[in-house]
């Protein structure tokens, strides 16, 4: 089986990704794919936090066993079967910054595709070492979608 996850940054409406990953893949292989896709530095500590439907953290999976298993010993399907439909991919442990991966669907594996894979993306990758997520390209598109920032009878100063 293949599991589809929707990735968002809590509190941000610009960044969205959708990933498909085989159920028998370890969280470690999913981490490596995310790290590569998001252009994160490979020398940083990471963890997944498994949460239930109401957002309560049930498990923590790290590079070292913290009681719930290590990234390389836990499979994606195990997490979903436990009812942990949300995973927080914590990419900055010191500032507790994470990407929320919400389980969307279970699908049949296609022999023509390789997994894990990126299915959809919107917004720039977050800067792993920045406190804020800025995507000024999308802001510029939103501003150009507006007819005008000024009303017809109001012109910017110097353009009379």
pLDDT in tens, 41-80: 999 899 999 999 888 999 999 999 989 999 999 999 999 9
Does residue 46 contact residue 33 with C-beta atoms inside 8 Å? Answer: no
| Pair of tokens at residue 155 | 């012109």
Does residue 154 belong to any structural domain of this protein? no
Identify which has the larger pLDDT, 17 or 160: 17
Does residue 160 belong to any structural domain of this protein? no
In this prediction the pTM is: 0.80
Does residue 159 belong to any structural domain of this protein? no
Task: Give the CATH number of the domain where residue 128 resides.
Answer: 3.10.290.30
pLDDT in tens, 136-156: 554 444 444 554 444 455 545
Helices (H), the chain: 27-37, 76-81, 136-145
Structural domain count of the chain: 1
Does residue 151 belong to any structural domain of this protein? no
pLDDT in tens, 18-43: 999 999 999 999 999 999 999 999 99
Does residue 27 belong to any structural domain of this protein? yes
Does residue 111 belong to any structural domain of this protein? yes
Does residue 85 belong to any structural domain of this protein? yes
| CA nearest neighbour of 15 among 130, 106, 146 | 130
Residue 59 structural domain: 2-145
Does residue 157 belong to any structural domain of this protein? no
Q: How far apart are the two ends of the chain, measured CA to CA in Å?
A: 64
pLDDT in tens, 100-148: 999 999 999 999 999 999 999 999 888 887 766 666 554 444 444 554 4
């Amino acid at each position: 089986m293949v599991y589809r996850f929707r990735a968002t940054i809590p509190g941000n409406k610009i960044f969205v990704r959708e990933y498909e990953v085989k159920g028998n893949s370890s969280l470690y292989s999913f981490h490596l794919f995310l790290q590569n896709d998001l252009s994160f530095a490979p020398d940083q500590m990471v963890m997944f936090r498994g949460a239930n439907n109401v957002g309560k953290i049930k498990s923590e999976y790290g590079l070292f066993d913290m009681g719930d298993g290590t990234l390389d010993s836990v499979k994606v399907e195990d997490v979903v079967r436990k009812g942990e439909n949300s995973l927080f991919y914590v990419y900055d442990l010191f500032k507790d910054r994470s990407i929320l991966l919400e389980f969307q669907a279970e699908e049949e594996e296609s022999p023509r595709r390789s997994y894990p894979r990126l299915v959809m993306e919107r917004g720039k990758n977050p800067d792993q070492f920045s406190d804020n997520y800025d995507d000024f390209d999308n802001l510029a598109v939103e501003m150009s979608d507006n007819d005008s920032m000024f009303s017809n009878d109001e012109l910017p100063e110097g353009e009379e």
